[in-house]
Amino acid sequence: MPDGNPAVPGGDAASEEEIRELIGRIQVNQQRMDALQQQANLVQMSLNDLDSAIKALGSLEGKAEGQELLVPIGADSFVHARLADPDKVVIGLGSSVSVEKSLGESKSIIQGRRGELEKVMLDTTGAMEQVAAELGRLQQEAQKYQ
């Protein structure tokens, strides 16, 4: 009869080391999955923000100068405003830098950003699938030691 823990095949120190290593790899992959999920959530929030901006810019099309609008300020609240120039949009470029662009240019910039984020989301979900597959493989391996 072999020495050691009967639940561990062979029950020797090498098997215990393999178990510790396996547990470590599972934990690393779980942490990676958590980080990827957080990244996916942030990317989705950014995509939603860009969709709102595209929708808002679309609502300006065909509006006349001086036309009264309801402008969303958040939390389902709005303010009344008059449109000064329906074809001028101040768009953020990053690092607290903004420029004035035409309505069409602004929509194009925002749609381009959205396309880039969609690629990031695809990469992130692809990485999540790879990590999930690896976790599944590691968990099957762990079954051998139960």
> Which CATH number fits the domain that encloses residue 22?
1.10.287.370
**DSSP label of 144:** T
Sorting pLDDT into bands at 50, 70 and 90, what band is 1? very low
Mean pLDDT of 60-85: 90
pTM over 0.85: no
Q: Is residue 3 part of a domain?
A: no
Confidence (pLDDT) at 2: 46
- Domain containing 66 equals 13-143
The structural domain count of the chain equals: 1
Q: What is the mean pLDDT of residues 21-46?
A: 97
For residue 121, give the 3-state DSSP assignment.
helix
Residue 2 belongs to some domain of the structure: no
Percentage of the chain beyond pLDDT 90 is 71
Q: Give domain status of residue 76, yes or no.
A: yes
Q: In sequence order, what E strands does the chain have?
A: 68-74, 77-82, 88-94, 97-102
Confidence band for 4, pLDDT divided at 50, 70 and 90: very low
- The pLDDT assigned to 14 comes to 65
Residue 4 lies in a domain: no
How far is the CA of 68 from the CAs of 5, 34, 63, 65, in angstroms? 78, 46, 9, 9
Lowest mean pLDDT among 3-17, 43-57, 60-74, 107-121: 3-17
Token code pair at residue 51 = 């969709």
- pLDDT value of residue 115: 97
What confidence category does residue 143 fall into, taking pLDDT thresholds of 50, 70 and 90?
A: confident
Q: Is residue 23 part of a domain?
A: yes
